[in-house]
Amino acid sequence: MSPQPMISLEGVTKMYPGLQRPAVDHLDLEVGEGELVTLVGPSGCGKTTTLKMINRIIEPTSGRILVNGQDALSVDAHELRRGIGYVIQQVGLFPHRTIAENIATVPVLLEWDKGRIRSRVTELVEIMGLEESMLDRYPSELSGGQQQRVGVARALAADPPIMLMDEPFGAVDPIVRSRLQEELLDLHRHLRKTIVFVTHDIDEALYLGTRVAILNMGGILEQYDTPAAVLSDPAGEFVTSFLGGERGLKRLALLPVSEVEISPGPVVDVRATPEEALEVMRRHGVDWVGLIQDGHITGWVWQSELDGRRLAELEPKEFLVSLTPDSSLREALDAVVTNRARVGVIADQGGYLGMIDLEAIAETITE
């Protein structure tokens, strides 16, 4: 069964006075409970307007918005917003309040008792990977990435079922942005909040979203599907153009190694004879062989090292890059092209699983 809709937009239109066309035009969109949906499109396509209409910061001109089954217009706006966490790019922390006071903003408005507020702030500091020593500091004393984490913590403070995020990582450098993306995915896996995330970056949208909504100018919904489906079957020229080049590589970032038929690869047990090792190398057309001991791969040796000696006597070289079934095929491709052996070694806690080569990756990307 598909997730129950947490947010539903039914024919939603927003027309600003003096403009000839709507900012958002008859938008139909459903966000299931526990989904992380990304809204992406060119500047001026109505992404932020859509987000603000869900939160009633902006009122729709027509159409209906349901939040957790209720018509958003039938609920007091302040009450509605208390059940929705909101995070923006500029963070919006109160500069004259400490980090602890910023995080506690909504619980204070809800008149929680001090002990409960203190406990919740401490919990969120741990969840967001912040240090308790930061709680008495002010926003200006924190880095951009730290401020952004505080902004997310503040949005989570009253434990809202829904979070709206408007380009929250757009103002930080690429390294911090990548780290924040990973933290958001981890947060989503653990808390299962329903999240609507606005971004102008198609790579970010594809990486984060369980589903991706691609908007055209005027808030026209061009495609709404899983990242894999968007990449494999773009709905028209606009989507194809917006996705840009390297669609195949983008797909690889979304597919796990487990999607590929894994080959045993050129390996032998350390108890095998040199002749058996040479036969494996000949069969695979390589001048090296991997060594297996008790189900685990210990490394590899050159053909020239055999010289009639027992394999157990040799000192194998370590494979520089190892993968797991959950590793992305993009990671696997990087391992293959940068590894002397031109393969990626796949293993998990249970031991050696096999190898993946460029041909197997290429077959997957062209399916």
204 CB-side CA count, 13 A = 23
CB 219 within 8 A of CB 40: no
> Where residue 327 sits, what CATH number does that domain have?
3.10.580.10
Structure tokens at 143: 């880095």
- Using the CB atoms, write b or e for 95-123: b if 16+ within 10 Å: eeebbbbbbbbbbeeeebeeeebeebbee
Same domain, 218 and 120: yes
Same domain, 243 and 338: no
Same domain, 21 and 168: yes
Same domain, 196 and 147: yes
Q: How far apart are CA 355 and CA 335, in angstroms?
A: 11
**Would you state the pLDDT for residue 1?**
44
Q: How far apart are CA 78 and CA 24, in angstroms?
A: 24
Same domain, 267 and 208: no
pLDDT in tens, 166-212: 988 877 788 888 888 888 898 899 889 999 999 999 999 999 999 99
CB 198 within 8 A of CB 54: no
Beta-carbon count within 10 A of 30 CB: 18
pLDDT in tens, 245-270: 777 778 888 888 888 878 889 999 99
CB 340 within 8 A of CB 247: no
DSSP string, 54-108: HTTSS--SEEEEEETTEEGGGS-HHHHHHTEEEEETT----TTS-HHHHHTHHHH
> Where residue 43 sits, what CATH number does that domain have?
3.40.50.300
**Would you state the pLDDT for residue 341?**
62
Q: Which residues contact 121 (CB under 8 A, 6 or more apart)?
A: 100, 103, 104, 135, 157
Same domain, 34 and 80: yes
Backbone region of residue 351 per phi and psi (left: phi > 0; alpha: psi in -120 to 50; beta: other values): left
Nearest to 43 by CA among 166, 238, 231, 216: 216
Domain boundary among 255, 289, 314: 255
- Torsion sign, CA atoms 338, 340, 343, 349: negative
Structure tokens at 65: 């918005």
CB 166 within 8 A of CB 198: yes
Name residue, tokens 């990435």: 145
DSSP string, 215-256: EETTTEEEEEE-HHHHHHS-SSHHHHHHH-S-HHHHHHHHSB
Domain boundary among 255, 277, 300: 255
**Would you state the pLDDT for residue 2?**
52
Q: Which structural domain, as residue segments, surrounds residue 141?
A: 5-255
> How many distinct structural domains can be found in the chain?
2
CB 296 within 8 A of CB 306: no
**Would you state the pLDDT for residue 217?**
92
Same domain, 188 and 306: no
Same domain, 265 and 184: no
**What's the Cα-to-Cα distance from 92 to each of 38, 87, 149, 156, 360, rounded to whole Å?**
21, 8, 12, 15, 48
344 CB-side CA count, 13 A = 29
Same domain, 273 and 318: yes
Same domain, 9 and 145: yes
Same domain, 34 and 154: yes
Beta-carbon count within 10 A of 178 CB: 14
pLDDT in tens, 208-220: 999 999 999 988 9
Same domain, 201 and 346: no
**Would you state the pLDDT for residue 128?**
86
Beta-carbon count within 10 A of 1 CB: 3
Domain boundary among 255, 286, 321: 255
pLDDT beneath 50, residues of the chain: 1
CB 361 within 8 A of CB 337: no
